[in-house]
Amino acid sequence: MRRLNKKGSHVGFVVSFVIFITFLIFLYAILQPTITRDRGKNYILGFLSFNFINSSSSEVTTMTINVEEPVGPQSCINLQQIVDDDKIPEYMVDHLLFKTDEETFTYQKNLPNIRVNTGNGFQGILNVYYSEKITPLPYDGVSGCSPKNYPLGVIKTYTEVFESNIEELYDSYYAEYGELKLQLGIPEGTEFSFILYDAERNIIYEAKNEDPPETQSVYSEEIPIEYIDGEGQLKFGFLVITVW
């Protein structure tokens, strides 16, 4: 019986395998810079998102006031105590916000008096916010209510995103794009854009100088945020940041 020669077929398999491995190494050598570069852009996106939120945020201090009895007969309360007791720094009295979960109240500053137009019959917890980024609404109440001390709650300080800060970043995007990139830590050769949507997906701000080239990889991240708008209201929205 004649034996089959398996030597040739074995050598052919080895040669084919070597050629295949060589091809994979060659392909990786070509694509590796792109893979590394794309990973870098993905890292830049995360870094930019963090810096953008940080640049959009400012300190806010809050406390609560318990109005235990219905307001009346006048329609305001006088919170002179928060100035007398140094609960609020005097330089902050132009940046106050008084509100409940349902409504926001205007106030009048006539130091040491701070009169809040709660309306006749108001009773309950009044939340006080102060921040340099808060611009109060014009006062629309009476001016005759006398000071009265109310139980005060815990004072807390934290950071919050402000629409006014995002507006400043928007203005800088078109006026000082290069300087804004430096501020946000974006390296040379990387471009970016951003959009702020409200909760209903309406565009509030869209900053974009140009569309990304079709030949470049584009990375985008959508961040649900809550922010304080120009009227001191806490809003929900979405921030979309894109780099390429």
Domain ranges of the chain: 45-58+160-244, 69-150
Question: Which residues on neighbouring strands pair with residue 223, listed in sequence order?
Answer: 239
Asked whether the predicted pLDDT for residue 54 surpasses 90, the reply is: yes
**Which strands sit side by side in the sheet containing 203-207, from one edge to the other?**
104-105, 96-99, 124-130, 57-67, 156-162, 219-228, 234-243, 192-198, 203-207
**pLDDT tens digits for range 141-152:** 887 888 999 999
Asked whether the predicted pLDDT for residue 20 surpasses 90, the reply is: no
| pLDDT at residue number 12 | 54
Give whichever of 1-10, 32-41, 195-204, 224-233 has the largest mean pLDDT: 195-204
Mean pLDDT of 57-85: 91
| pLDDT at residue number 9 | 52
Q: What pTM did the predictor assign? A: 0.73
Which of residues 111 and 57 earns the better pLDDT score?
Answer: 57
